[in-house]
Amino acid sequence: MAIRVYKPTSAGRRNASVNLNEEVTKYGAEKSLTEPLNKKGGRNHHGVITVRGRGGGHKRLYRRIDFKRADRLDVPGKVVGIEYDPNRSSHIALVEYVDGVKRYIPAPKGLKPGDEILASDNAIEPSVGNAMKLKHIPTGLDVHCVELRPGAGGKLCRGAGTYARLSNREGRFATLVLPSGEIRRVPVDCRATIGQIGNQDHNQRRLGKAGKSRHLGRRPHTRGVAMDHATHPLGGGEGRSKSGRAPVSRTGVFAKGGSTRNRKQHSEKLIIRRRKSKRYGQLR
């Protein structure tokens, strides 16, 4: 089994489980594809904390992932091994091409060492790990690392166990059903990789204790209602009180119901059905 549940030998072990990472076949990163990863502690380039509750954690090396595969078109590659990546939920596959170049790609489910993969702008065999344009992929297949704009690199479905279903094509656009339930159109000239991302049991793991969260760089979170009113808009008052105010951040920005999309990308006009509908699940 991929998830091992600990015996309750202590308070921290009682509700803890661990992912065995059975797909991993290679240990130790490829040094030529790694670089230092400096921690920011949730601060932006001004030194201002923009994301609270971040800091500490185990030291990591960043693995450079090839989400574009643009300069490897029509160059066959062989999978050397599947590795664990501390910077993402999915596993990564080390690929060595026939010209000796090595690259990391997100490891899809079913990809094993020794398998050959190929990326091309032409119609090729739609086997797991191959990347091609959406206009050449048969409808009904599962894809991941989907581009939103041609040549921009994979943006959609990069997390563990995720995939998008290619439902149909019409004119310049292909229709994808995303894991969130959102249905959107994507240009047919965008590339996607065949298959589902591996490590599907990632979300079944339970940390079990606060120390595991600290190892991941997550610091304790204090509720706003537990603070005083000078520190948080929801704080203060005699006794426990929610005051009936809508949930807001420490600076007064609404925490629920607001839009987080980048309006400059003009992405909303390509959405057929929203992940969360504005009104009772009706189509947009």
* Contact between residue 93 and residue 106 where contact means Cβ atoms under 8 Å apart: yes
Q: How many folded domains does the chain comprise? A: 2
Global pTM exceeds 0.85: yes
In a domain, 150, yes or no: yes
Domain identity same for 238 and 129? no
122 and 248 both lie in a single domain: no
Q: Does one domain contain both 185 and 249?
A: no
Contacts of 24 (CB under 8 A, 6+ apart): 82, 83, 84, 91
Give yes or no: residues 238 and 159 share one domain. Answer: no
What residues make up the domain containing 247? 223-253
115 and 163 inside one domain: yes
Is the residue at 236 inside a domain?
yes
List the CATH number of the domain containing 115: 2.40.50.140
* Residues 35-89: tens digit of each pLDDT: 999 999 999 999 999 899 999 999 999 999 999 999 999 999 999 999 999 999 9
- Same-domain check for residues 125 and 231: no
Which alpha helices (DSSP H) does the chain contain, by range? 210-215
Compute CA distances 198 → 1, 63, 124, 205, whole Å: 15, 17, 22, 15
Residue whose structure tokens are 């664990």: 84
Distance of CA 194 to the CA centre of its chain: 17
The beta strands (E) that lie in 122-245 are given as: 131-133, 142-144, 146-147, 154-156, 164-170, 173-177, 183-187, 191-194
pLDDT tens digits for range 263-275: 776 677 889 998 8
For residue 15, tell me if it sits in a domain: no
Tell me: do 81 and 29 sit in the same domain. yes
Q: Are residues 227 and 151 in the same domain?
A: no
Q: Look at 29-38, 55-64, 111-120, 248-257 and tell me which has the smallest mean pLDDT.
A: 248-257
